[in-house]
């Protein structure tokens, strides 16, 4: 555990602990340790106290005391974030507020197609509850077995379903938020149409816990598709993948529910290091696409749609080879390949990651220009490109050269970031498509965003959190 530079007053710790009870006020170093690191190991925070409230009232009382005493609070859900927003600083002054005990699904309304869930509900648990009610909750992430709804909303999570269903913000109809003052903003409404003033919920979704603590939300559900067809295709270029996407949108329209682009290198890494993965195609290709078509009418309709897309793609020379899953199990295996892929970069040594988005039509040119930018920083560095082509979001990661040194490569972190992000900006793209800003990209955001945008964000922050106690040092 990181050495605490400035311990909290024991009397203050006792006051906070009295709100949740000693059982849910973690003070022991071993108990606290898992809350102080994140999955990439980039940040190691310090704190004397982790609070695990079990009700909205307890969260409110914690924040009232925090405001009274000027104690900074770091909200944390499943601790699966990738930009350090959930990790405290190293001062020891901040306390962690874990939302994991707020884990009730309060209501599923199948007529309104909504679910009201608390912030600590695990995403996969919510998916399963929706499925049991013959509905679909479409947010789908690699970390869905451990990430929680509060964190999904606070980071405006994306994932593989954004093409058809939108990101977390678009799936959210209403929120319940505890403000830094301890006041509770109850906006748990199910309305799809509501033009009564500012849409306040959107300030909290994507704010990474800097404006308040989301304790519950009303989320959209959808009818379960009657048919889901999954295919894996091999292509000669990113341009061909873009042509296939255009063809698929033209033929399938709203039934196209996923379109994932995978470069040869991450494909090979997954075959080399993935546990339990099966090679989708017999031959190797420079690029691959994982495509899903969902039909609200029947399995046969979904099958006909996806086969029509691929047949036209083969006939036009866009697709080199393709296979449509012959069963649900094979379709799940294709998705398992994609979901296993991100972790398979780790065994290849140090990496520098970029979560970017550009206009869909610009993806092939971005890939070409970014490769040149990478080579200018580190000759021999290996581009590991994959992502959600259907919504313009690429994970443009860079692994160190084969015989390179991890430490020496990571020393290039900032020049590599700048080189890649400069290309992103030249296409009017975003340096954070779905992971957020947190600590990782805070300084770059401040340095490169339009000054007026930063000024407006700071005004919003000051209005909601004038004492500066709400997840300080994150975003702006």
pLDDT per residue over 6-26, tens digit each? Answer: 789 999 999 999 999 999 999
Is the CATH code 3.30.465.10 the one for domain 105-223?
yes
The reported pLDDT for the residue numbered 41 is 80
Quick one: how far is CA 122 from the chain centroid? Answer: 14
Every domain of the chain with CATH number 3.30.70.2740 lies at 349-427
Which one-letter DSSP state was computed for residue 292? Answer: E
Mean pLDDT (whole number) for 203-218 = 98
Please name every residue paired with 385 in a beta bridge, in sequence order, or none if there are none: 396
- Tell me the pLDDT tens digit for each residue of 419-464: 999 999 999 999 999 999 999 899 999 989 999 999 999 999 999 9
Mean pLDDT (whole number) for 69-75 = 97
Q: Which residue has the tokens 């898992």?
A: 34
> What gap in Å lies between CA 387 and CA 240, rounded to an integer?
16
Mean pLDDT (whole number) for 286-302 = 95
pTM for the whole structure = 0.92
Through-space distance between the first and last CA atoms of the chain, rounded to whole angstroms: 27
- At residue 79, does pLDDT exceed 90? yes
Mean pLDDT (whole number) for 184-198 = 95
CB 290 within 8 A of CB 334: yes
> What gap in Å lies between CA 49 and CA 93, rounded to an integer?
10
Percent of the chain whose predicted confidence (pLDDT) is above 90: 93
The reported pLDDT for the residue numbered 5 is 58
- Residue 239: which of 309, 316, 293, 334 has the closest Cα? 316
The reported pLDDT for the residue numbered 274 is 97
- Residue 232: which of 244, 249, 247 has the closest Cα? 244
Q: What's the residue count for the chain? A: 476
Percent of the chain whose predicted confidence (pLDDT) is above 70: 99
Which one-letter DSSP state was computed for residue 7? Answer: P
Looking at the domain 349-427, which fold is it? Alpha-Beta Plaits (3.30.70)
Is the CATH code 3.40.190.10 the one for domain 227-341?
no
Every domain of the chain with CATH number 3.30.70.2190 lies at 227-341
**Token duo for residue 120:** 């600590």
Mean pLDDT (whole number) for 50-59 = 98
> What gap in Å lies between CA 80 and CA 82, rounded to an integer?
7
Mean pLDDT (whole number) for 87-102 = 96
**Token duo for residue 61:** 């009382």
The reported pLDDT for the residue numbered 43 is 87
Of 1-5, 190-194, 206-210, 303-307, least confident by mean pLDDT is 1-5
Helix (H) / strand (E) element for 240: namely helix 238-252
CB 157 within 8 A of CB 141: yes
CB 250 within 8 A of CB 222: no
**Token duo for residue 190:** 């199910």
Every domain of the chain with CATH number 3.30.465.10 lies at 105-223
- Output the CA–CA distances (angstroms, integers) from residue 16 to 90, 96, 257, in the order listed: 20, 11, 46
Of 295-299, 327-331, 359-363, least confident by mean pLDDT is 295-299
Alpha helices (runs of H) in 379-436, residue ranges in sequence order: 406-410, 413-426
> What gap in Å lies between CA 240 and CA 362, rounded to an integer?
13
* Residue 266 CB-density burial (10 A; 0-12 exposed, 13-18 middle, 19+ buried): buried
- Residue 49: which of 88, 7, 96 has the closest Cα? 96
The reported pLDDT for the residue numbered 88 is 95
Helix (H) / strand (E) element for 374: namely helix 363-377
Mean pLDDT (whole number) for 308-324 = 98
CB 137 within 8 A of CB 127: yes
- At residue 117, does pLDDT exceed 50? yes
The reported pLDDT for the residue numbered 394 is 97
Average pLDDT of the chain, as a whole number: 95
Phi and psi torsions of 285, nearest 5°: -135, 155
Sequence-ordered strand ranges (E) for 32-123: 50-51, 73-76, 95-98, 105-109, 114-118
- At residue 320, does pLDDT exceed 80? yes
* Residue 229 CB-density burial (10 A; 0-12 exposed, 13-18 middle, 19+ buried): buried
- Tell me the pLDDT tens digit for each residue of 170-186: 999 999 999 999 999 99
Mean pLDDT (whole number) for 368-375 = 98
CB 100 within 8 A of CB 121: no
The reported pLDDT for the residue numbered 372 is 98
Q: Which CATH number fits domain 10-98: 3.30.43.10, 1.20.1250.20, 3.40.1390.20, 3.90.79.10?
A: 3.30.43.10
Mean pLDDT (whole number) for 233-257 = 97
The reported pLDDT for the residue numbered 2 is 47
Banded model confidence at residue 1, pLDDT cuts 50, 70, 90:
very low
């Amino acid at each position: 555990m990181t050495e605490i530079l400035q311990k909290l007053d024991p009397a203050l710790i006792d006051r906070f602990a009295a709100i949740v009870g000693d059982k849910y006020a973690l003070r022991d170093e071993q108990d606290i340790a898992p809350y102080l690191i994140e999955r990439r190991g980039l940040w190691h925070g310090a704190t004397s106290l982790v609070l695990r409230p079990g009700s909205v009232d307890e969260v409110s009382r914690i924040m009232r005391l925090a405001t009274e005493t000027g104690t900074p609070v770091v909200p944390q859900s499943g601790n699966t974030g990738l930009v350090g927003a959930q990790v405290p600083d190293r001062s020891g002054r901040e306390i962690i507020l874990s939302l994991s005990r707020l884990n009730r699904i309060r209501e599923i309304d199948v007529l309104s197609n909504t679910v009201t869930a608390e912030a600590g509900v695990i995403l996969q648990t919510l998916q399963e509850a929706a499925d049991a009610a013959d509905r679909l909750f479409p947010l789908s992430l690699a970390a869905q077995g451990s990430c929680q709804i509060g964190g999904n909303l606070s980071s405006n999570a994306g994932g593989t379903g954004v093409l058809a269903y939108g990101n977390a913000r678009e799936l959210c109809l209403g929120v319940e938020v505890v403000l830094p003052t301890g006041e509770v903003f109850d906006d748990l409404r199910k309305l799809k149409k509501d033009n009564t003033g500012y849409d306040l919920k959107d300030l909290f979704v994507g704010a990474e816990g800097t404006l308040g603590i989301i304790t519950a939300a009303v989320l959209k559900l959808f009818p379960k598709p009657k048919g889901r067809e999954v295919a894996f295709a091999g292509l000669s270029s990113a341009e061909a993948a873009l042509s296939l996407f255009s063809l698929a949108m033209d033929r399938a329209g709203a039934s196209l529910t996923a379109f994932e682009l995978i470069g040869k290198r991450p494909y090979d890494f997954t075959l080399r290091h993935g546990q339990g993965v099966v090679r989708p195609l017999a031959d190797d290709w420079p690029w691959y696409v994982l495509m899903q078509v969902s039909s609200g009418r029947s399995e046969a309709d979904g099958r006909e749609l996806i086969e029509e897309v691929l047949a036209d793609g083969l006939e036009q020379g866009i697709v080199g080879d393709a296979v449509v899953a012959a069963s649900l199990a094979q379709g799940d295996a294709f998705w398992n390949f994609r979901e296993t892929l991100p972790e398979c970069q780790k065994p290849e040594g140090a990496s520098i990651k970029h979560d970017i988005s550009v206009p869909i039509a610009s993806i092939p040119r971005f890939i070409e220009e970014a490769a040149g930018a990478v080579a200018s920083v580190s000759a021999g560095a290996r581009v590991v490109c994959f992502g959600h082509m259907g919504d313009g979001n690429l994970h443009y990661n860079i692994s160190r050269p084969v015989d390179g040194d991890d430490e020496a490569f990571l020393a290039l972190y900032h020049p590599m970031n700048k080189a890649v992000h400069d290309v992103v900006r030249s296409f009017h793209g975003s340096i954070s498509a779905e992971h957020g800003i947190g600590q990782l990209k805070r300084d770059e955001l401040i340095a490169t965003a339009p000054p007026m945008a930063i000024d407006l964000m700071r005004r919003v922050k000051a209005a909601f959190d004038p004492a500066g106690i709400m997840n300080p040092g994150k975003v702006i």
